Chains A and B, each alone.
Chain A
Amino acid sequence: MRAFVSSLPRRLRRQCLTAASVLALAGASPVGAQSLLIPMDGSQANHLRAYGLVFNAVQRGARAEWLLNYRYGSFLLPDGAVVRQQAAIMGVTTESLDGARLASLRADIENSNMDAVPLEKAPRIAVYTPPNSSPWDDAVTMALEYAGIEYDRVWDPEVLSGKLEDYDWLHLHHEDFTGQYSKFYLAYAGAPWLQEEVSRNEAVAAEFGYSDVPALKKAVAGTIAGYVRQGGFLFAMCTATETLELALAAHSADIAAAFADGSPPSADAADRMDWDATLAFSRSELVLDATISAFSDIDGHQVNTPWRRSLASFELFDFSAKIDPVPSMLTQSHETVLADFYGLTTSFRRDRIKPGVTILAEEPGSGTTKYLHGSVGDGSFTFLGGHDPEDPQHLIGDQPTDLELHRHSAGYRLILNNVLYPAAKKKALRT
């Protein structure tokens, strides 16, 4: 939505550009340095904004590198006045590297479980969210805003009109693709916000000629799956993960409660589920009772049911940077054990995951996983359970999370790893 440089005042922008021009003409880097290291270990003052600094540099055409496993996933940028000023304003720690230090760094990478992945093109980002939502409703939007990474909002009309072709990366958050409004009818039937959500969805369904909202959402889910198969990057969190899958599998079944589409779920709904149509999950049992705030047994925590599982912690797996660069990119973090956080879908039962999907994080010994990645067609998807890494309980009406107070959040780093990973050079992605 706003590129960082374009958001700078005109005067400062001019200063930056002048300084950059002078340096370019002189053919020299300032203070003799060649590269700027953005460390991602404990010395980094703002881990989250570091991603924004790198993203914006790549967007301006700089050749950046992601140093996988080097000081917990540091970045390398060409040194220059503009990037230094941006780093200062954003509060991001940088270190100048001269030729000798750079050579030593590359030798360390060569001889260890590390790799340097070029970042060559900033992805065009779309966030699937209703038009009137606040940026603070969704962890990814908060992370993008905080890091200063530009994005566009899309919703059902844009998806159904083929606008996804304009984007490389799509994020889904807490949408309920079964069309049942997250089953919030149980507790919030009279709440104005829910009434507004219902009428907004029904209006879009009518506009596009669908009989009801569940039918609309199935069509949207199918379009999103097609976008992935044709090469898109999908990152979904919370209930969007589970309900997207259910909507895809239920293309020939009615799994929605009567309050959503006027008819009860079909008696043979479970038999009619087509698990070949999904991306990540299969053989799940449905929860069809409208009074139970859960969708299926994919989620291992079932937060709004009497049998909810308590929160513990989850552990990121360690991958070979040289052999598995994609999982490695997605798990770069200065912490490997993270406190868990609830969402309407918090985790994914291991026995519901399709073969071939890579598990990136799990709750050890519990049979549940937190973070998944897989490829389908020419594209890929990543699913992260939970709603907000820094708001473990996340109750409706809670104060929005202030990322200024969580600048080192390892959970939010996982989100930003996903934002940056499509920028990696295609060769690296395909290994």
Chain B
Amino acid sequence: MSRHRSLAVGLAVVALIVALPASAAAQSGAAERRALAQATELQRAGNLAEARSVLERHLDENPASASALVQLAQLVTIQGLPGEVLSRAERAVEAIGSPSPVIRQVWIRALTGAGRSDSALAAAQAWAAEQPSSTLAHGEVAEVLVRRGDMSAAVAALVSGRGATGDPTAFAQELGDLYARLGNPAATAREWIVVLGWGDAGVAAVETRLRAPGADYEILVGALRTELADGLKIFTVLRSAAFLANRLAEEEWALEVAETIAERVPRDTRVAFLRDYASDSRNRDLNRNAAWAAERLGSDSSDPEESLRWRALAAEWSLAAGDGPNATSAFEAIVRDAPAGSEAHRMATSHLFSQRVLENPAAAEPLLRSFTRQYQEAEEDRARMGVTLSAEWIRRGDLERAGRALDLSGRIAVDPTANALIEGQRGWLALYDGRHQMALGHLEVAALIPAGSPGARTEAIASVDALGRADSAEAAVVGEALFAVERGDAQAAVRAVTNELAGITPSDARPALLILLAQRLDRAGHSAPAAIVYRSVVQSFPEAAEAAPGMLALARSLAVSQPGAARQWLEKLILNHPSSALAPVARRLLSELEGRVPPSS
């Protein structure tokens, strides 16, 4: 109730302008409806003068028509002449005797618009005295005082009005705004706490005010925190404050309020709040707060399975928040406590494996073995874990254990994505090991399966094409170089191609093999060695189709440090390879370099 009464004052102007004409018109006769519709149409068409004439003609015959009077008041306000409705408002007041609140508002505002603010104030005060429980009347007194620039008196009028109406929550928004203009953040915060008691609408109202241009955000948030900490702990207010803090991304404050709620409310209320709060925090990327809420839900739950599920989510969100050690110990506990085959156990095993594999791949092997045994049906997950473990052994230079890691992921029966992953990885392993034909065989299978990551499949297709045309000696050198890239030894990769390939007669596949290597170097962050290989492609094989990606890559690498050189490569690409699919890409980059289009994000 109090919210509606309080809002009524704030919305009074809108009600004057929009709502009441429609409802009043419905009660009036057909002539009035026609006049109002005609005026509205003229106004929409921008013909304000004619719209005004229509309303004035109607009021000549019906001086007490509230709808027409309100519409005319709106019109003259738009024309910058708000006082010009005064004579008609006075006629309406006289004609009715006991005018409606709407007519009183039009009259009082017309008096103000005509520069007669003393009369306006007297009329508003008389109205408030006559109807002390009317929030509209007290609001109008304050409105006149605000227009006179007397904010302190307006505050006093609203405080007095609050007492007269008997509603201690009335005028909370209006008072908050006035206190903010008067530079009183503590009083503003106390009013906003009342507004927060309205729930979601109150949260939105306070957020809008905090984010408004010119609002003293830090001071107002500080005041709100202090007043909330010192005030009564009302659940609806605290709940709103927690969600407001989330919306403002005030992580610490939000957690502080949420902890206060969790300590004070009964279990059922707490669980309902924590669920909503966890979800809201997660949606806003406040992972630490989401993890805290999930952890509390886990410890609150009497159902062991549900408890484990919340703990697993808490650990996952802790990881997302960057709290690795806490997440690891939580996952270890879940793997130990949860029954094998449960959702919580599976999620925890998978996460724990991902963390262990980079620190100590040997320690990750038992986890993969256990996962494979427990979750036969999870073929894609098993394949991904096997490929991840294999890649880590490759990075450490151990091709044999890399192969065994794939075996640990078990037999893949049906899942195409899992098959593509395993076959692709076996192909690369064979190539690194110098077994050209075996590599080709596995990569062909991976390239044929329409599943998995598009980037990996594109690389497999390009490799099959290149390896199919390459001779074995050439393929062996490129395989050795790719293996060096995976081990992080970019210099060895460049040496392999510059020294060893120099002695081998190039096949048709040479530029494609070199581009493959250069792109791997690029992806691994070795941009300078990549540029050496790209340059060798565009200089040694300028007519080859692979020269276009080489030129584009060189242009990209030089875009910041040497934009002039980058432009040269792009123009060369466009002019020498006009039919390449990369020519439009080069034009775009050229436009960006020349500042002709906004830079891509």
Contacts and interface: CB of A to CB of B under 8 A. Distances in A.
Interface of A: 2, 7-9, 11-12, 85, 88-91, 135-136, 145-146, 148, 188-191, 265, 285, 287-292, 297, 299-300, 302, 305-307, 309, 349, 367, 399-404
A146 B597 contact: yes
21 contacts: A12-B571, A88-B575, A89-B575, A90-B587, A91-B583, A145-B595, A145-B597, A146-B597, A148-B596, A265-B80, A287-B80, A288-B79, A289-B78, A289-B79, A291-B77, A306-B17, A307-B46, A399-B598, A400-B598, A402-B598, A403-B597
Interface in B523-575: 564, 567-568, 571, 574-575
B395 to A, nearest CB: 39
Contacts of B587: 89-91
A302 B212 CA distance: 25
B213 interface: yes
Nearest to B565: A9
A306 B18 CA distance: 10
Interface residues of B, number: 34
Contact of A8 (B212, B571, B578, B584): B571
Contacts, number: 82
B373 to A, nearest CB: 51
Contacts of B598: 136, 399-402
A11 B594 contact: no
Interface of B: 17, 43-49, 77-80, 212-215, 564, 567-568, 571, 574-575, 578, 583-584, 587-588, 590-591, 594-598
A281 B221 CA distance: 51
Contacts of B567: 9
B574 A88 contact: yes
A190 B79 contact: no
Contacts of B44: 307, 309
Given A8-B571, A400-B598, A91 B45 contact: no
Contacts of B77: 289, 291
Most A CB contacts (10 A, CB to CB) among B574, B578, B583, B587 go to B587
Q: Across chains A and B, which 8 residue pairs bring their CB atoms closest together, nearest first?
A: A190-B214, A190-B213, A289-B80, A288-B80, A297-B46, A400-B598, A91-B587, A145-B596
A292 B78 contact: yes
Contact of A349 (B46, B214, B568): B46
B571 A89 contact: yes
B177 to A, nearest CB: 14
Given A90-B587, A188-B213, A300 B79 contact: no
Nearest to A351: B47
B52 to A, nearest CB: 11
B142 to A, nearest CB: 19
Nearest to B564: A9
The winner among B45, B568, B584 for most chain A CB atoms within 10 A is B45
A146 B591 contact: yes
A12 B568 contact: yes
Nearest to A11: B568
B493 to A, nearest CB: 31
Contacts of A400: 598
B575 A91 contact: no
B78 A302 contact: no
A190 B214 CA distance: 5
Contacts of B46: 297, 299-300, 302, 307, 349
